[in-house]
Chains A and B, each alone.
Chain A
Amino acid sequence: MDNLLGLLKQNARLSIKELAVLLNQSEEVVAKALEAYEKQGIIKGYQAVLNYEKLDNAPVFALIELKVQPKKELGFQEIADRVMALEEVEDVYLMAGNYDLAVFVKGKTMQEVAMFVAKRLSTLDSVLSTATHFVLTKYKQDGVILKDEEKKELRGQMVV
Chain B
Amino acid sequence: MKKIPVNRNLDSLKPSGIRKFFDIANEMKDVISLSIGEPDFQTPWHIRQAGIQAAEEGKTWYSPSMGFLALREEISSYLQRRFDLHYSPKSEVLVTVGASEAIDTIFRALINEGDEVLVIQPSFVCYDPLIRMSGGIPVILETKAENKFKLTANELKNKITPKTRMLVISFPTNPTGAIMEKEELEALAEVLRDTEILVLSDEIYCELNYTEKSHVSIASLPEMRERTILVNGFSKSYAMTGWRIGYTCAPVEIIEQLTKIHQYMVMCAPTISQYAAIEAMKHGDEDVKRMRNEYNMRRRYLVDRLNAMGLNCFEPEGAFYAFPCIRSTGLTSEEFCEKLIYSKQVAVVPGTAFGDCGEGFIRISYSYSLKHITEAMNRMESFLNELKHE
B101: min CB distance to chain A, Å:
14
B37 interfacial contact with A, CB 8 Å? yes
Q: Are B125 and A11 in contact (CB under 8 A)?
A: no
Question: Given the complex of chains A and B, what is the CA–CA distance between A23 and B293 in angstroms?
Answer: 10
Tell which of B124, B125, B300, B370 touches A10, judged by Cβ atoms closer than 8 Å.
Answer: B370
Q: How many residues of A contact B (CB 8 A)?
A: 16
- Which residues of A lie under 8 Å from residue B124 when comparing CB positions? 160
CA distance A3 to B353 in the complex (A): 35
Residue of B nearest to A14 (CB): B370
Tell me whether B297 and A157 are in contact (CB under 8 A).
no
Chain A nearest CB from B315 CB (Å) reads 11
Say yes or no: A21-B353 contact (C-beta < 8 A), given A10-B370, A160-B126. Answer: no
B210 CB to nearest chain A CB (Å): 10
- Chain B CB count within 10 A is highest, among A3, A23, A159, A160, for A159
**Bound-complex Cα distance A3 to B124 (A):** 32
**B125 CB contacts on chain A under 8 angstroms:** 159-160
B182 CB → nearest A CB, Å: 23
* Known contacts A157-B26, A158-B38, A3 near B293 by CB under 8 Å: yes
Instruction: Confirm or deny: A155 has a beta carbon within 8 angstroms of a beta carbon on chain B.
Output: yes
Which residue of B18, B36, B300 contacts A21 across the interface (Cβ within 8 Å)? B300
Cβ of B33 within 8 Å of any chain A Cβ, yes or no, is yes
Q: Which residues of A contact B228 (CB under 8 A)?
A: none
Contacting residues, chain A, for B26 (C-beta < 8 A):
157
- Residues of chain B within 8 A (CB-CB) of A158 are 36-38, 241
How many residues of B are counted as interface, with CB atoms below 8 angstroms from the partner's CB atoms? 25
* Residue of A3, A10, A24, A155 with most partner-chain B CB within 10 A: A155
Indicate if the CB atoms of B300 and A157 lie closer than 8 Å: no
Give A132-160 interface residues, CB cut-off 8 Å to B: 153, 155-160
Q: Provide the residues of chain B in CB contact with A153, threshold 8 Å.
A: 33
- Least CB distance from B372 to A in Å reads 9
Would you call B297 and A159 a contact (CB within 8 A)? no
Interface residue? A34 (CB, 8 A): no
| Contact partner, B33, options A21, A22, A23, A157, Cβ 8 Å | A157
Chain B residues positioned under 8 Å from A160 (CB to CB): 37-38, 124-126, 174
| Contact in complex: A24, B293 (CB < 8 Å) | no
Q: Mark A2-42, 1 if CB is under 8 A from B, else 0.
A: 01000100110000001001111000000000000000000
User: Of A3, A11, A18, which is within 8 A of B371 by CB?
Assistant: A11
For B305, the closest partner residue in chain A by CB is: A21
A159-B300 CB under 8 A given contacts A3-B293, A11-B370, A11-B371: no
Q: Of the candidates B36, B301, B304, B371, which one forms a contact with A159 in the assembled complex, judged by CB atoms under 8 Å apart?
A: B36
**CB of A159 to closest CB in B, whole Å:** 6
Please give, as numbers and ranges, the residues of chain A lying within 8 Å of B370 by CB-CB distance: 7, 10-11, 22
Please, which residues of chain A bring their CB within 8 A of the CB of B371?
10-11
Minimum C-beta distance from B311 to chain A (A): 16
Closest CB in chain A relative to B121 CB, distance in Å = 15
A22 to B241, CA, bound (A): 27
In the complex, what residues of B have CB within 8 A of residue A3's CB?
Answer: 293, 297
Closest to B124 in A: A160
B126 in contact with A22 (CB, 8 Å): no
The answer on a CB contact under 8 Å between B293 and A155 is no
Of residues 161 to 176 in B, which have CB atoms within 8 Å of A's CB atoms? 174
Interface centre among A7, A10, A153, A157 (most CB of B within 10 A): A157
- Interface residues of chain A, those whose CB is within 8 Å of chain B, are 3, 7, 10-11, 18, 21-24, 153, 155-160
- B residues at A contact (CB < 8 Å): 18, 22, 25-26, 33, 35-38, 40, 124-126, 174, 241, 293, 297-298, 300-301, 304, 349, 353, 370-371
10 closest A-B pairs by beta carbon, nearest first, are A160-B37, A21-B304, A22-B297, A22-B301, A21-B300, A155-B36, A159-B35, A21-B301, A159-B349, A159-B37
- Knowing that A3-B297, A11-B370 touch, tell me 17 more A-B residue pairs with CB under 8 angstroms: A7-B370, A11-B371, A18-B301, A21-B300, A21-B304, A23-B297, A156-B36, A157-B22, A157-B25, A158-B37, A159-B35, A159-B36, A159-B37, A159-B125, A159-B353, A160-B37, A160-B126
